[in-house]
Chains A and B, each alone.
Chain A
Amino acid sequence: MNRKASILILALAALHLALLFTGFLAPSDPIAQDRDLPYAPPTRLHFRDTSGWHLRPFVYALQPGPDAYTEDRSQSFPVRLMVRGNKYKLLGLVPLDWHLFGVDQPGKIAVLGTDEFGRDEFSRVLYGGQISVAAGILATLVALTAGATFGVVAGYYGWIVDESLMGAMELFLCLPWLYFLLGVRAFLPLHLSAIRTFFLLTAVIGLIGWARPARLVRGIVLTARTRNYVLAAKGFGGSDFYLMRRHILPEVRSVLVAQAALLVPRYIAAEVTLSFFGLGVNEPTASWGNMLSVLQRYSVLVSYQWLLAPAVALVITSVIYGLLADALLSRLKFQST
């Protein structure tokens, strides 16, 4: 079990590192369009030409043909590691123009093909992942912070505070959350800058979700409150705040971690869903949701399968998080029995 969990955690770490270093890993600018190459299929890597085999793979430029792209075999572009390309800021701080891989200038490499504006799908999956996953994580932080605060307060003070907070929790739990999310979204202006939409969305998604963690936390606090060491600390004159921080929150921590693993993929999916319907992060900023929304046209869905790449990325992320949440939850159950 531990082994499985650590493998999952390693995979998650790799995923998030890749998203952190997106600028370096992505060969091109995610919003740079190339109107000559819409819906280009994934670039093929070649190892052999007329002069024989090569150790270093190379690509050919694509030419729009009558019904499909053809490769222009007259000139080849070897794939190089550590090439200079478009400028970006590593971790949002260090201006750089080094990329992990790429080809020499007039050549182009699109590992996962291009979208309708000829933008590199691979770069967009990475940059879009930054937005979607960050939205999921931030919204989870909001939900867990609010949930833990209200849960601890409700469980610790009891009586009327508890009753009223529990009522509010139940109210939020029985709201159909996607409808509610749409309702809240209807009040916000439709067109906002990408950054503002991003923060508003994460706040809304997170605030709608506070009830479930709050209820869990409350349950734990109810039992923790009567433990002898808590009562002892109280007897020695510990303030409410001190007791909550020092003795009660640590008991809640493992539950919160498991909840986080459960909520992050759910909130990523929430952002993806909203952006999919054009209610979230808008073009040209990439997010997995708005990248998938071209698939609402059946013709695109049938003809350009590589545009399913963000869905695959979303599946990988969700499955890793989901399995980790399973492992953490079963461990919690094991500990409590």
Chain B
Amino acid sequence: MKYLALRLIRAVLLLLGVSVLCFLFTEMAPGSFFDEMRLNPQVSPDTIASLRSRYGLDQPLVVRYGRWVRSAVRADFGYSIAYNSPVAPLLWTRAKNTLLLNTAAMVLTWLISVPLGVWIATLRRSAWDRAIDGLNSILISLPEIVVAVAVLAIVVRWRVLPVGGMSSVDLDALSHWARAREIATRMLLPVMILTLVEGGIIVRHVRAAVLEILDAPFVQASRALGISNVRLMLRHVLPVAANPIISLFGLSLAGLLSGSLLIEAICGWPGLGPLILDATLARDLYLVIGGIMLSTLFMLGGNLIADAMLLACDPRIRTGRANES
């Protein structure tokens, strides 16, 4: 419990750091509403000063930070100039789409990668193992953008999948089932790319973790006792190998909101990514800052959940001897 409490404190401190960073960002944002007023000869400096004091801009930095935090807690991240609306609802509608996409991709990736990694590990450094591992290291070193463009090129050329956006028809006009199917087919392409990009790393780590355990004496002993391979894997090897895999799972969780920016933008998925990208191009600063804050929040949350899971699964951490094995 103490461990979890420490991690929680750590996360809160980090959140504080992030908020300071974001606040400084906001403060540094060039130009303020009053800059234009100052150019107007009919507005006296006194008026500007009184306006500034009404909005609290003459307060010291710390006070302003306190106010900023208070509004940020109420999910008020400011006002988007380009969309002419508050930032928070904009972010939420887009974040939902991103979460949908990434959750689907994450489930698929893990369902494929873990069994694959375990299976490759059982090949035990045979020629097959080496060949697959070699291919995998090439896959891992491919930049995300190239994978995305290449898959897109193939899909567009052979017209195997619908491309672009989340739907081609008005979603509200469809029944529930038709709507789900429409979204699912559109989602296939980005999910495929995300799986390719993320899967390789997970396979490699699962393989490495399992391989390490397979050499342990207790595995040989269990084998000698005649335990079936499946039972050996599920009951004895995987739980011991789980530690690095869970950390990786935490990273996956942490990236739920921020991992797919590039792919969303390339596939035209209406998620958080294209929104922030357009906001950057339009220099819509509060929107960008809101996006950073939201995705950082998810990062921290994911890391915290991973810590909790590690604690639940690994007795070595509970007893405070995590690094002895």
Which of B46-54, B72-80, B144-152, B226-234 contacts the other chain?
A: B144-152
Known A175-B296, A179-B295; contact A278-B144, beta-carbon cutoff 8 A: no
The reply to whether A315 and B146 form a contact with Cβ atoms under 8 Å apart is: yes
The reply to whether A273 and B141 form a contact with Cβ atoms under 8 Å apart is: no
B256-299: CB near A (< 8 Å → 1, else 0) gives 01110110011000000000110111011100110110011001
Contact among A174, A182, A305 for B303, CB-based, below 8 A: A174
The reply to whether B13 and A180 form a contact with Cβ atoms under 8 Å apart is: no
Known A292-B145, A301-B153, A315-B146; contact A186-B30, beta-carbon cutoff 8 A: no
The reply to whether A183 and B258 form a contact with Cβ atoms under 8 Å apart is: no
B255 to chain A, nearest CB (A): 7
Contact among B146, B262, B299 for A311, CB-based, below 8 A: B146
The reply to whether A171 and B149 form a contact with Cβ atoms under 8 Å apart is: no
Chain B residues, Cβ within 8 Å of A302: 153, 156-157
Whether, in the assembled complex, A65 has its beta carbon less than 8 Å from a beta carbon of chain B, the answer is: no
The reply to whether B156 and A296 form a contact with Cβ atoms under 8 Å apart is: no
Contact among A170, A185, A298 for B14, CB-based, below 8 A: A170
Contact among B13, B18, B152, B281 for A175, CB-based, below 8 A: B18
A5 to chain B, nearest CB (A): 14
The reply to whether A176 and B255 form a contact with Cβ atoms under 8 Å apart is: yes
The reply to whether B21 and A319 form a contact with Cβ atoms under 8 Å apart is: no
A137-149: CB near B (< 8 Å → 1, else 0) gives 0000000000000
Chain B residues, Cβ within 8 Å of A325: 141
Contact among A176, A190, A277, A322 for B295, CB-based, below 8 A: A176
Chain A residues, Cβ within 8 Å of B28: 187
Chain A residues, Cβ within 8 Å of B21: 171
B282 to chain A, nearest CB (A): 9
A270 to chain B, nearest CB (A): 9
Chain A residues, Cβ within 8 Å of B152: 301
The reply to whether A322 and B141 form a contact with Cβ atoms under 8 Å apart is: yes
Residues 157 to 207 of chain A near chain B (Cβ within 8 Å): 167-168, 170-171, 174-176, 178-180, 182-183, 185-187, 190
Chain B residues, Cβ within 8 Å of A190: 281, 283
Bound Cα distance A277, B265 (Å) = 9
Known A171-B18, A182-B288; contact A314-B141, beta-carbon cutoff 8 A: no
A28-62: CB near B (< 8 Å → 1, else 0) gives 00000000000000000000000000000000000
The reply to whether A183 and B137 form a contact with Cβ atoms under 8 Å apart is: no
The reply to whether B144 and A269 form a contact with Cβ atoms under 8 Å apart is: yes
A265 to chain B, nearest CB (A): 7
Chain A residues, Cβ within 8 Å of B17: 167-168, 171
Chain B residues, Cβ within 8 Å of A305: 153
A168 to chain B, nearest CB (A): 8
Contact among A167, A168, A278, A296 for B281, CB-based, below 8 A: A278
- Among all A-B residue pairs, the 6 with the closest Cβ atoms: A322-B141, A176-B258, A269-B143, A176-B295, A171-B17, A186-B280
29 contacts between A and B (CB under 8 A): A167-B14, A171-B17, A171-B21, A174-B18, A174-B296, A174-B300, A174-B303, A176-B292, A183-B25, A183-B291, A185-B280, A186-B285, A187-B25, A265-B141, A269-B144, A273-B145, A292-B145, A292-B149, A295-B149, A298-B163, A298-B164, A301-B153, A308-B149, A311-B149, A311-B150, A314-B145, A315-B142, A322-B138, A325-B141
